Amino acid sequence: MGRTRNWVSRNFFGVLMGGWGLIALVAWGVFFR
């Protein structure tokens, strides 16, 4: 159970960081167009 919870936590943070990375990439493209 601990392993599953750890995987869910890592997956959640991975998606969260990926989403912020995408937003940062779009913002970078808009500012330096």
Q: Which pLDDT belongs to residue 4? A: 74
State which residues form the domain around 16. Answer: 1-33
State whether residue 16 is helix, strand or coil.
Answer: helix
Q: What is the mean pLDDT of the chain?
A: 81
Number of structural domains found in the chain? 1
How far apart CA 33 and CA 28 sit, in angstroms, is 8
CA 32 to chain centroid = 22
pTM (2 d.p.): 0.42
Q: Identify the residue with better confidence: 30 or 7.
A: 30
